[in-house]
A = this chain, B = another copy of it.
Amino acid sequence: MSLLTGPKGFQFAGVRCGLKNKRNDLGLLVSDVPARAAGVFTQNVVRAACVDHSRAVLSTGTLRALVVNSGNANCCTGEQGARDTARMAQLAVAALNLEDQPVAVASTGVIGQLLDMAKVERGVFSAASQLGADVRPFMDAILTTDLVEKHASATIGGAQILGVAKGSGMIAPNMATMLAFVVTDAAIGDYDLQGMWKRVMDRSFNRVTVDSDTSTNDMALLLANGLSGETPSEAEFERALLEVADSLSRQIARDGEGATKLLEIQVTGSANPRRIAESIANSPLVKTAMFGCDPNWGRILMAAGKAEIPFEMDGIVLTLKSNGEDHVLFEAGSPAPFDPKKVSSGLKSDHVIVDLYLGPGESETVYTCDFGYGYVRINAEYHT
């Protein structure tokens, strides 16, 4: 596997400390100098201690490092859980000689079990001794049911933006989607980084839904250390950030638990096209039809209608797009004639666009995936 390197002045490490089987489960991400930072977090009322910790740390607008574990979400673990999160940060500070510099903590995995802190301690010191330019060991350390690694990058002149993410189940658009970390060596101006990060989230991760279930541990962090010396304009930087976040969002939807394809739900018109797109994207009946490659357009209209945003039937055009072909299924208030076998064959593609035109107006897109036996298998046989 080729080397994946990050922007200037960032180092990465990932090790297996035994919190889960087989894969890496503890990661470190360190900037050589304090980095300007922004973050968004789950809106779930039930949330892990690491969410509270990292939000508090971020209030300084600066991060030096991040320590993350997978295999255990350290959520619903009471006061001991909060102490363990604080200890994770302290261990990273000690292992990296960071003294009092701000360290974020993220955790992902099963809810409701205490962390094995002896394993975490060994993992943090082992990772600290293996820091390097290769991002892959770190990226592996944040995965859980993900089947594939998720990373994206962009360049602005001499500056690089690199993002990694994890997420496959318990994914719904509400702030961030499980874990996403984006680092850059761009030397950004004194614009509102947190505001920009929120705008980018709203146009990317918040548009993803795998199963409508919002995680307790969602976290998306941005670190900019300025070491490239490149000074992009605010608009330039935001555009590049969005490119990276959008790519990660599609990767997450395509790797949804049990998924066989990425579904892009595009809705145009009505007072709230986004809510209608989300309603379609979260409909089990639409998602199972897509799994079965069934052009069951009635379910798509049903799911659009249940969002309770008014629209007229007369103006509707529903088109399924895949493999470069467009199939119109419903037009001007009535079913359009189509060849079910041909459309069904097109739905075997791993990327299908559902284009619902309700009338003139704004367009909004939501990313999701189909819903098949694999989702049930993964989630009914997951071990508590």
Contacts and interface: CB of A to CB of B under 8 A. Distances in A.
B373 A373 contact: yes
Contact of A334 (B78, B302, B335): B78
A218 to B, nearest CB: 10
Contact of A73 (B75, B111, B298): B298
Interface in A95-115: 110-113
A238 interface: no
A113 B292 CA distance: 20
Nearest to A312: B45
Nearest to A379: B288
A376 B372 contact: yes
Interface of A: 43-47, 73, 75-80, 110-113, 169-170, 172, 174, 211-216, 282-285, 288-289, 291-292, 294-299, 301-311, 313, 330, 333-335, 340, 371-373, 375-377, 379-384
A310 B112 contact: no
Count this chain's copies in the assembly. Answer: 2
Contacts of A291: 376, 380
A334 B112 CA distance: 8
Contact of A301 (B111, B113, B211): B111
Contacts of A376: 288, 291, 371-373, 375-376
A194 to B, nearest CB: 21
Q: Select the residue from A77, A79, A285, A289 with max chain B CB neighbours within 10 A.
A: A285
Contacts of A46: 301-302, 304-305, 313
A47 B285 contact: no
Contacts of A310: 45
What are the 4 tightest A-B residue pairs by CB atom distance, in nearest-first order?
Answer: A111-B298, A46-B305, A292-B380, A288-B379
A189 to B, nearest CB: 35
23 contacts: A43-B306, A46-B305, A75-B298, A76-B330, A76-B334, A77-B335, A111-B297, A112-B298, A170-B285, A170-B299, A213-B302, A214-B306, A216-B301, A288-B376, A291-B380, A292-B379, A292-B380, A294-B384, A295-B384, A298-B384, A371-B376, A373-B376, A373-B377
